[in-house]
Amino acid sequence: MAIQLRKALTSDTAAICSVFFDAFRDDPVTLRVFPPALKQAQDYWLKSIDADLHDPNVHFVLATDQASSPPGQVIGFAKWVEPRTADSPSSPPYLPWPEGVDAAFGDKFFGAKAGKHAEIMGDRLHWYLELLGVRKGYQKRDVGGMLLRWGLQKSDEAQVEAFLDSSPAGAALYEKHGFQTVDTVAFEDPGGKYVEKYMVRQPERKV
């Protein structure tokens, strides 16, 4: 198969950033908080990804196209966070919002995400899919499904739940893989109302 998965290296930071801005270039939240044309937004993501790649609890999984020229172009990524215990290192601190963006909306949106995550999952151990992105030209080809199943296998092996929060565009993929919506939060955006879904999947029981 031409599309393969591998774990990210620190040298993949720029490639992950490029995929993010391609995958979410039409997303209303990205356009308000991380406008793709804004250099400060690009710099924010480069620093954030680099910090995550040095966090032992964070796993960036990459989808690569072996038939691309040159072979191995990064076409998608998933950021999976394994269950954090009392002995786990703390996650990297959030960076300040880039200059020139809608910081108030960023605080509201991402604050709600963090609050709902804590409210729903509490102290229960779980695998967390924090972010998944696929280049526009590779969407609808199961690349997202491959990246999703990587983490679901981990949650099944550990017999713990998986959690994520989904944009309106991504919910159908997650429902197809067994996630169920447990809560929603609506945000006003220039195009209308953006509804973020908070979803949980129970592990498949071992036979």
Average pLDDT, integer, range 72-78: 97
Domain-embedded: residue 183 = yes
Does residue 165 lie in a domain region?
A: yes
**100-150 pLDDT tens trace:** 999 999 999 999 999 999 999 999 999 999 999 999 999 999 999 999 999
Residue 159 has pLDDT above 80, yes or no: yes
Mean pLDDT for the chain overall: 93
Domain that holds residue 106: 3-85+100-201
Domain for residue 31, yes or no? yes
Domain count across the chain: 1
pLDDT at 7: 97
Residue type, 66: Q
Distance CA 141, CA 18 (A): 19
CATH number at residue 168: 3.40.630.30
Within-domain flag for 106: yes
What's the Cα-to-Cα distance from 6 to each of 115, 146, 158, 178, rounded to whole Å?
31, 11, 21, 24
> Which among 136, 133, 129, 139 is positioned nearest to 177, based on CA atoms?
129
Is the pLDDT confidence value at 192 over 90? no
21 belongs to a structural domain: yes
Nearest in space to 153 (alpha carbons), one of 181, 177, 117: 177
Q: Is residue 207 part of a domain?
A: no
161-178, pLDDT tens digit by residue? 999 999 888 999 999 999
d(CA 62, CA 40): 24
Res. 1: pLDDT tops 80: no
The better pLDDT of the pair 88, 35 is held by 35
Of 34-48, 69-83, 158-172, 183-197, the poorest mean pLDDT is in 183-197
Residue 206 lies in a domain: no
Bridge partner list, 60: 79
How far out from the chain centre does Cα 168 lie?
14
Where does 37-172 show beta strands of DSSP type E?
Answer: 58-65, 73-81, 126-134, 161-166
Query: Quick check: is 9 in a domain?
Result: yes
| % of the chain exceeding 70 in pLDDT | 98
Give the model's pLDDT for residue 190: 67
What is the four-CA torsion angle of 70, 71, 76, 78, rounded to 10 degrees?
-130
Is the pLDDT at 155 greater than 70, yes or no? yes
The whole-model pTM stands at 0.93
Report the distance separating Cα 202 and Cα 79, nearest Å.
19
